[in-house]
Amino acid sequence: MESVATGMEVSETYVIAASTHNIKRPILDWLRLLIHFGFSYLDVECVRSPDEADSIADSRISLEEAKIIENAVEKGVVNVVSIEAGSLFVDTPRLARRYEEVVKKMLKLAKRLKAGIVSFTPASMSGGTSWEGLVESCKSICSEAESYGLIVAFENGEVGSRKIIQSVEDMRRLLDEVDRDNLGLCIDISAAATYDFDVAKIIKSIVDAVKIVHINDITADLAFKNLPVGVGDLDYESIASILSGIKTPMILELYSGYGPVELYLCKRKLEQLLSKAVRTRWDTRLKGSG
């Protein structure tokens, strides 16, 4: 875990991970640079199948790149926190079954890479969503994940997107109707800001279900999202105040064009905010006990 010193002989530890969403190839050079910048945790986006065309701009890793990450995990130079399985499309039963299988394949990859969490994003290609179908797909995925000892987390989406979970009410409804202990929420901060810019309030209202957080910033007009912390307009001091108390893994989910330097600067800014939040909380406790 990353240690955050408070300057008061008190320190807190947090899991702050880079994501292969920001991969720069060749992957070995990218990994070496991340490690040089102090990253020891990684989030892996879904793996391309062998028949899919390779692209230098594709953030999904190849099977060969997954093996490189697996070797790094075995050597103890990096820890994989989570696997992002991509979209779970549930427009029709047939489509739902197809994408369920994709997510289940990522469960197997998570076990290989020693990750504890697999996330996916409920979505619709056509806008014709079957909520009942989504619930059944989630139950099936959770059952399989349980056999691997894994946590499953569904990700929220932006208002107006093809992603299904677009409010705190949607989050609660899916959690309640699936009703599985190993299902939680992967909250994407920029996406949450599209339905209430007070994201700290959103996180606080659903904090018991949050299993993983996608860290990013967004401008107040919602025109630019997935920015490094502090580049957008969110009140990250309030967000850090909540996150500093729950110790949930944090993934730097930034625009794919950003490289290791921007990831490092984002991590550094986040650590500063977390440190300030811990120090403020400690000061409050001292005053209360005085």
Domains of the chain: which residue ranges? 2-289
DSSP 110-140: HHHHT-SEEEEEEE-SSS---HHHHHHHHHH
Query: What pLDDT does residue 55 have?
Result: 47
**pLDDT at 104 (0 to 100):** 97
pLDDT of residue 9: 38
User: Per-residue confidence at 111, pLDDT binned at 50, 70, 90?
Assistant: very high
The whole-number average pLDDT for the span 172-194 is 98
Identity (one letter) of the amino acid at 271?
E
Determine the pLDDT at residue 237.
Answer: 98
| Per-residue model confidence (pLDDT) at position 2 | 58
Average pLDDT (261-284) is 94
Give yes or no for residue 23 having a pLDDT over 90.
yes
User: How much is the average pLDDT of 123-146?
Assistant: 93
Give the pLDDT confidence score for residue 227 in this predicted structure. 98
We find that the CATH architecture of domain 2-289 is Alpha-Beta Barrel (3.20)
pLDDT of 96-106, one tens digit each?
999 999 999 99
In this prediction, residues 263-273 reach a mean pLDDT of: 97
Poorest-confidence range of 67-71, 125-129, 138-142, 200-204? 125-129
| Mean pLDDT, residues 75-101 taken together | 96
Greater pLDDT, 214 or 285? 214
Cβ 231 vs Cβ 215: under 8 Å: no
Question: Taking CA 268 as the corner, what is the angle to CA 22 and CA 66, rounded to the nearest 5 degrees?
Answer: 30
Tokens for 109, please give them.
């990859």
Q: What's residue 3's pLDDT? A: 58
